[in-house]
DNA sequence: CAAGTTATGCGAGTGCAGCTCATGTTAATC
DNA sequence: GATTAACATGAGCTGCACTCGCATAACTTG
């Protein structure tokens, strides 16, 4: 995975600065959205001069991409924790678990509602966005990466038939779930419960074709 | 529906100009994508001064929104024609028909691969886009409008139980299908046939819960 | 048809955001 | 302490979306 950073922060202060910039980026995304977010504002809020901003981030996208990477790592480690904690009766429990964690982060993690894993969410009525499909990995679409890492996570737990068919099915499920959850959160700030339920139903019904 | 146009072209020349601008917009979208598209370039290619461009379109978004509206109208009238021509045995035939027409337009209609009904497609590796969720109707998400108009089209043909439940199901189906088809066309220029097949399966499996 | 009135056409210019780069400053090495 | 390398900085450059005041054309009226 190509790093989203131009230069890796070596000293303590630099590491803190990069973290602060990501935090401020997340807050600003919640406040004003991606389009209105300016690199100058992120830098100034983090107490970092604009020139230094560009020492670490190649451009505005790189900033958001770095945030997306942080979000995906946080999501996967939270899902892992949940899996360790709960005991899964059926593969459908895993689907519910992942969707529930995603919903939880949408509600609580700053900036997650806007960027999650890189698909920058458009502001209703706002101007258009581009190039957010390959935030996590410049060589592959976001959800391909997400699906792959979920597959690795799940492969030991459920006796899925390995192969292209299942990989494709997982990708389809991730894409579809992502789309429906976006609607759920556009309609309702905490995510329309009916839509979240439909999302789970959609994924279960579909994956039932590929899993026992 | 709020018009995407600032001023409705009255005279013949103006109508032609607006059409030309939309055509050039579509071509440029295919060539360089939304982000790189400049209003100056659209205007100059259409042989229209930039000031006149802004007489008709409120902004860059308005231009693309107008194209999205044109696309949706074209899509729906083509679907209507197909329905009139074919005879539908089962509601699943209607699903296939709509998806097939969508795929056909993705392949042939200029600009459709990028904007379809307003969800501007990101260029892989390109910069982000925002605010394309409400292109068709400023008050509602694109796919709500698409779902609604598809519902009107379908309601006479299949004995669907009218009500919020079915409306929501249709919206979920449209969102999910849209997302999966986007993947299909990102992977493969003409749309990965396996993905298109999976899309049909996804929608059928899900809607089977709500239809006989 | 001429004068007046409204609508439309026009492009140089403005503001602003992303991003750069020459110069100043600190740390590392000898 | 001197030399060199790495890092920090913000004024300024570039390029795009969009405006605004004047020019031109099209209607209306006496």
Question: Can you give the pLDDT at residue B163?
Answer: 85
Q: Do B133 and A124 touch (CB under 8 A)?
A: yes
In angstroms, rounded to a whole number, what is the distance separating the alpha carbons of residues B142 and B132? 8
What average pLDDT does the structure give for chain B? Answer: 87
Span A146-175, average pLDDT: 88
How much of chain B is helix, strand and coil, in % rounded to 5? 65, 0, 35
Strand D nucleotides with an atom less than 7 Å from a protein beta carbon:
6-12, 16-21, 27
Measuring CA to CA, how many Å separate B192 from each of A171, A183, B74? 13, 25, 23
Distance CA B120 to C1' C15 in A: 27
CA B73 to chain CA centroid, nearest Å: 9
In angstroms, rounded to a whole number, what is the distance separating the alpha carbons of residues B145 and B53? 27
pLDDT at A121 over 60: no
Residue of A25, A62, A119, A176 to mutate, interface with B, max B Cβ within 10 Å: A176
Question: Can you give the pLDDT at residue A26?
Answer: 97
Q: Which of A99, A36, A100, A113 is nearest to A71 (CA)?
A: A113
Strand C nucleotides with an atom less than 7 Å from a protein beta carbon:
7-13, 17-22
Span B61-72, average pLDDT: 91
Interface check B143 vs A, CB under 8 A: yes
Q: Which of A176, A151, A153, A174 is nearest to A163 (CA)?
A: A151
Token pair 């209703």 is found at A124
Q: Show residues of chain B in contact with A126, CB under 8 Å.
A: 130-131
Q: Would you tell me the crossing angle of helices A164-187 and A193-207 to the nearest 10 degrees?
A: 170
Whether B195 and A172 have beta carbons less than 8 Å apart is answered as yes
Q: Do B134 and A124 touch (CB under 8 A)?
A: yes
Residues 73-112 of A with CB under 8 A from B: none
Indicate if the alpha-carbon torsion angle A7, A10, A13, A18 is positive or negative.
positive
Name residues whose C-beta falls within 8 Å of residue B80's C-beta, 6 or more positions apart in sequence: B153
Question: Can you give the pLDDT at residue A138?
Answer: 67
In angstroms, rounded to a whole number, what is the distance separating the alpha carbons of residues B212 and B91? 9
Interface check B172 vs A, CB under 8 A: yes
Q: Which residue is nearest to nucleotide D15 (CA to C1')?
A: B38
Q: What is the pLDDT of residues A71-110, one digit of tens each?
A: 999 999 999 999 999 888 999 999 999 999 999 999 999 9
Q: Distance between the two ends of chain B, CA-based, in angstroms?
A: 34
Q: How confident is the model at residue B83 (pLDDT cuts 50, 70, 90)?
A: very high
Q: Which of A128, A132, A143 sits opposite B61 (nearest CB)?
A: A128
Q: Which of B209, B98, B102 is nearest to B151 (CA)?
A: B98
Question: Can you give the pLDDT at residue A155?
Answer: 84
Q: How confident is the model at residue B127 (pLDDT cuts 50, 70, 90)?
A: low
Question: Can you give the pLDDT at residue B129?
Answer: 66
Interface check A194 vs B, CB under 8 A: yes
pLDDT at B27 over 90: yes
In angstroms, rounded to a whole number, what is the distance separating the alpha carbons of residues A68 and B61? 26
Asked whether the whole model's pTM tops 0.85, one would answer yes
Question: Can you give the pLDDT at residue A142?
Answer: 81
Residues paired with B137 in a beta bridge: B140
pLDDT at A212 over 50: yes
Whether B64 and B115 have beta carbons less than 8 Å apart is answered as yes
Question: Can you give the pLDDT at residue A123?
Answer: 52
Name residues whose C-beta falls within 8 Å of residue B86's C-beta, 6 or more positions apart in sequence: B93, B97
In angstroms, rounded to a whole number, what is the distance separating the alpha carbons of residues B134 and B147? 14
Q: Which of B36, B37, B39 is nearest to B50 (CA)?
A: B39
Span B15-27, average pLDDT: 93
């Amino acid at each position: 995975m190509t790093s989203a950073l131009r230069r890796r922060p070596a000293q303590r202060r630099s590491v803190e600065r990069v973290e602060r910039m990501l935090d401020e980026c997340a807050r600003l995304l919640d406040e004003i959205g991606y389009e209105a977010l300016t690199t100058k504002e992120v830098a100034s809020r983090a107490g970092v001069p604009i020139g230094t901003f560009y020492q670490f981030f190649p451009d505005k996208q790189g900033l958001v991409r770095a945030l997306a990477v942080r979000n995906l790592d946080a999501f996967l480690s939270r899902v892992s924790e949940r899996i360790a904690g709960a005991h899964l009766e059926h593969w459908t429990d895993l689907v519910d678990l992942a969707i529930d964690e995603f919903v939880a982060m949408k509600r609580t993690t700053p900036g997650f509602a806007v960027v999650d894993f890189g698909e920058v969410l458009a502001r209703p009525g706002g101007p258009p966005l581009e190039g957010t499909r390959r935030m996590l990995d410049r060589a592959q679409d976001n959800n391909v990466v997400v699906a792959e890492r979920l597959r690795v996570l799940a492969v030991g737990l459920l006796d899925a038939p390995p192969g292209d068919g299942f990989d494709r099915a997982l990708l389809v499920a991730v894409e579809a779930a992502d789309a429906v959850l976006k609607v759920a959160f556009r309609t309702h700030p905490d995510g329309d419960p009916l839509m979240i339920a439909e999302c789970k139903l959609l994924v279960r019904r579909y994956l039932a074709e590929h899993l026992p």
